[in-house]
Structure 1
Amino acid sequence: MSTVAPSAEPAPTFSHRVEYAATRAAVAGLRLLGWRGASTVGGWLARLAYRPIGIRAGVVERQIAAAFPHLSADEVRALSGRAYESLGRTSIETAVLPGTSPADVLARVERVEGWHHVEAALALGKGIIAVTGHLGNWEFAGAYVAARGVRVDAVTRGAANKLFEAYITRTRQQIGMEVIHDRDAVRRTPRSLRENHLVAFVADHDALGLASTFVPFFGRPAKTPRGPAVFALRFGAPVLLMICVRQPSGRYAFFVEPVEVQPTGDREADVDAIVLRYTQMLEQKVREYPEQYFWQHRRWRRQPPDTPPHLREP
């Protein structure tokens, strides 16, 4: 009986190689500017992407207007511009982060609230489920936790360009994080929790291989990963919301808040309740820092078929 060898990953295309080479060259050039200089360039370039280029400008403006209906059209445009600038800064700050010493990472945080929740959770020995969203600088959040000596395993989505994906994986490892691809999360997360690691989920986008549920986000049903809640209930791991947002000084504030987990015996209802809680907590932080949210992503693209017209994707 013959056996069929598993298919290898497809070879990188020419465009993938060009993308990878351009990324490496751009990062090398930006590092010459230093962290603050590179951040400034990133913000400036992203502003151009909004106006005059207009990349996804309609998506951003519609979603901000739906989330904050009290804003005037001029206020929506002003907030949209700041959101582009923030995303540009976050992208470039993340790109030049590898190679930064733990001491320098720690020095870039000017305020920390709730770190005692991390210490208390680690003392339980059951690992930590950390949830965050595309708010502020989520990659820097992982680097900060790792710089404080906590083992961080980040659940991430794979990229179509495997050269770029391998590069991103290496950069995350250089700042102290191990990578769990979302397709492997069900298999690898239990081991990480048993080893008392912190397993980080960016819990406001769909994840391959992890089930989702619909919960309100700014009043509209949004498809949200339920994996963090499932793992928390199955393994008794505490759940913490972690948010890292940029301050006027250019440095960061880091916030940790516990997410309440109250098992009732109804596993499905308990999972949905936890997903709702961490989504509500994230929404509150987005309301505090709306200019630092990733509005370029269509957060309400997938919705239940019975969603009323006025609550569908704006």
Structure 2
Amino acid sequence: MTSTRTKKSRGVTKAVAKGQSSAKALRQPTLAHRAEYYTMRATIAALRALSWNAACKIGEKLGALGYRPLGIRKRVVEKQIAAAFPNLDHDAVRKLARESYEHLGRTFIETALLDSLGRDGLQQLVETVEGWEEVDDVMSKGKGAVLVTGHIGNWELAGAYVAARGVPLDAIARGMANPLFDAYVNRARAEMGMTIVHDSDAVKRTPRSLRAGRAVAFVADQGVLGLASTFVPFFGRPAKTPRGAAVFALRFDVPVIFVAALRRPNGRFRIVVERIEARRTGNMDRDVDAIVAAFTEHLEKWVRVVPAQYFWQ
């Protein structure tokens, strides 16, 4: 960032004080929040002095520490992977688990540094785009759209890329416990062109956005406050999955589009865009569940392609 840390922190604190459409954002930061925040800002400042690839490599190493020696949710991750891929032996499960931690660490650093790229730099980070004509077709009709992704690849980059391409995008985001983090991250998202809607406001704000012809993005394997979930198959087991994105799509008769940003071995990204077919039979509950099931099918398909890039934690 070009501004001084003091100036930035005042801006964040001011944003928190004014509120950002979230009850959590209205909370006054504690001393612990401030300590966490300034530590994080100092770390990001140091990483900005490095090349993009060098900073991301550090992220991978930090992520690997989470697996071993720290062992953060290690057993949970290994259990999830073993259940999803029963043909893997124990060594293969452990290898995939370690890679998923490295991916998560890299994703965190990429996200923290994303705004430093700018919109043009972000688009240059993307190597291939498949299916973008789906977005162009939908948005040209002026009805809006529901975009869905999961915790695969770099989901923050996926949303930022869509916004950088000029799509009017409202992203539903879960508020963070630390209000300073919350304001900082949301400001970085806004610099990439996204309008942030906290999940506590999604029920109220999403209808307004869709009526205005905007796209609304959901990380659709994460719950939204005020909306129910359902159970659909995911890797052969019932998985509790939010219904919110499907409910809005059906109520406002807008298309559902799956978007993911998958990292290539060279560190650049492959953007995949796919239309999710939404049948309308007149039975709202059945139709919602069908869309949710279709979303998880798309998500599972890509998790099988890049299993180390899924958030198994």
TM-score computed with the length of structure 1 as normaliser: 0.90
1:240-296 residue CA offsets vs partner (Å, 9 max, x unmatched): 000101001110000000000110011111011111101111011101110000011
Alignment of 1:1-314 (within 5 A): 9-296=26-313
1:204-263 residue CA offsets vs partner (Å, 9 max, x unmatched): 122222221111111222211111111111111110000101001110000000000110
Identify the range of structure 1 (188-197 vs 256-265) with the bigger mean alpha-carbon deviation. 188-197
8 A Cα contact 2:231 2:238, kept in partner: yes
Identify the range of structure 1 (99-108 vs 178-187) with the bigger mean alpha-carbon deviation. 99-108
Give the distance between the partners of 1:208 and 1:21, measured in 2 at CA.
Answer: 29
Give the distance between the partners of 2:52 and 2:217, measured in 1 at CA.
Answer: 25
8 A Cα contact 1:206 1:223, kept in partner: no
8 A Cα contact 2:202 2:224, kept in partner: no
Give the distance between the partners of 2:251 and 2:141, measured in 1 at CA.
Answer: 15
- Shift, 1:149, TM fit: 0.9
8 A Cα contact 1:229 1:274, kept in partner: yes
8 A Cα contact 1:132 1:201, kept in partner: yes
Give the distance between the partners of 1:207 and 1:223, measured in 2 at CA.
Answer: 13
8 A Cα contact 2:149 2:259, kept in partner: yes
8 A Cα contact 1:42 1:91, kept in partner: yes
Identify the range of structure 1 (52-61 vs 253-262) with the bigger mean alpha-carbon deviation. 52-61
Q: Which runs of 5+ in 1 are unaligned?
A: 1-6, 297-314
- Shift, 1:11, TM fit: 2.5
Amino acid at match of 1:53: L
Give the distance between the partners of 2:56 and 2:212, measured in 1 at CA.
Answer: 36
3-state DSSP of counterpart to 1:69: coil
- Shift, 1:34, TM fit: 2.4
8 A Cα contact 1:98 1:171, kept in partner: yes
TM-score computed with the length of structure 2 as normaliser: 0.90
8 A Cα contact 1:99 1:175, kept in partner: no
Give the distance between the partners of 1:164 and 1:226, measured in 2 at CA.
Answer: 28
Consecutive aligned runs of 4 or more in structure 1 exceeding 6 Å deviation: none
- Shift, 1:174, TM fit: 1.1
Cα RMSD for the two superposed structures:
1.3
1:172-230 residue CA offsets vs partner (Å, 9 max, x unmatched): 11111110111111111111112221110001122222221111111222211111111
Q: Indicate the percent of aligned positions where both proteins have the same amino acid.
A: 57
Give the distance between the partners of 1:106 and 1:10, measured in 2 at CA.
Answer: 35
- Shift, 1:97, TM fit: 0.7
Give the distance between the partners of 2:214 and 2:83, measured in 1 at CA.
Answer: 38
8 A Cα contact 1:206 1:225, kept in partner: yes
Give the distance between the partners of 2:33 and 2:78, measured in 1 at CA.
Answer: 31
3-state DSSP of counterpart to 1:105: helix
3-state DSSP of counterpart to 2:101: helix
Give the distance between the partners of 1:10 and 1:240, measured in 2 at CA.
Answer: 35
8 A Cα contact 1:240 1:258, kept in partner: yes
Q: Which runs of 5+ in 2 are unaligned?
A: 1-22
Amino acid at match of 1:39: C
Amino acid at match of 1:14: L
Identify the range of structure 1 (199-208 vs 285-294) with the bigger mean alpha-carbon deviation. 199-208
Give the distance between the partners of 1:235 and 1:184, measured in 2 at CA.
Answer: 17
Amino acid at match of 1:183: S
8 A Cα contact 1:240 1:256, kept in partner: yes
